[in-house]
Homo-oligomer: A and B are copies of this chain.
Amino acid sequence: MDSIKNRRTIRKYTSQDIPNDLLNELLEDAFRASTMGNMQLYSVVVTRDIAMKKKLSPAHFHQPMVISAPVVLTFCADFNRFSKWCLYRKAEPGYDNPISFLNAATDALLVTQNFCTLAEEKGLGICYLGTTVYNPDQIIEILHLPKLVMPIATITVGYPDEQPEQPDRLPLSGIVHEEIYHDYTREAIDSIYAYKESLPENKHFVEINHTETLAQIFTDIRYKKSDNENMSETLHATLRKQGFEKD
């Protein structure tokens, strides 16, 4: 599994297209992931049409991969298909609630990661777009997602046209806890983040952003409280609109 160990996000793709047979094979194998009660609570929308990519682009804050990748995949939490099956089989579905959203989102995310692993193993490169849950309302409209379907992850896929450096990761001991969670002391935090803070690219990042610390780039520029609060409002409003939450 060197492809997992050596992986890096790929944001630049060659013009080579992905054959439909290959894409379908990867998706079919990805659907072997664990799924709650074998309900398979997900759907995938495949975007190849350039006009559709242009429509999706603003929802992803115009990240260029949405246009430049041959294939864009939107993985959705989906209780619509299962609920329709219930209704057509004299069964009363009860999945219009937050836990069902979380269950379907979980199913969808396990499949998303499985797809990424399989694609990378075949020499493709992927980029995970976290923007999907920031503007779910726009994506729902563009992709015609009905009630009980919620977009949860977007992956751009193509043949790599770059070989970026592998990003740093925190030391294992900073993430894994034996038996119980050992909360972090100041000393532990200093030690866990020391390597990240020592990297020249991160020091450069602090310099060009004119912040005092690397953490301030996250809190004041990239992932701000006010943005998070606005996006949380959108998330709840969209979950209500899609039928997963009550007013």
Interface residues of A (CB under 8 A from B): 1, 4-7, 9, 24, 27-34, 36-40, 42-49, 52, 76, 80-82, 84-86, 88-95, 97-100, 102-103, 105-106, 109-110, 112-114, 116-118, 121, 126, 128, 130, 133-134, 143-146, 149, 152-153, 167-170, 172, 174-181, 183-184, 186, 189-190, 192-193, 212-216, 218-220, 222-226, 228-229, 231-232, 235-236
Determine whether the beta carbon of B9 is less than 8 Å from that of A186. Answer: no
In the bound complex, residues from chain B placing their C-beta under 8 Å from that of A85 are: 189, 192-193, 215
In the bound complex, residues from chain B placing their C-beta under 8 Å from that of A103 are: 130, 133
In the bound complex, residues from chain B placing their C-beta under 8 Å from that of A231 are: 99
Determine whether the beta carbon of A235 is less than 8 Å from that of B177. Answer: no
**Pick from B37, B52, B117, B222: contact of A114, CB under 8 Å:** B117
Bound complex: CA A46 to CA B216 (Å): 32
- The distance from the CB of A176 to the nearest CB of chain B, in whole angstroms, is 5
Determine whether the beta carbon of B181 is less than 8 Å from that of A146. Answer: yes
* Complex copy number for this chain: 2
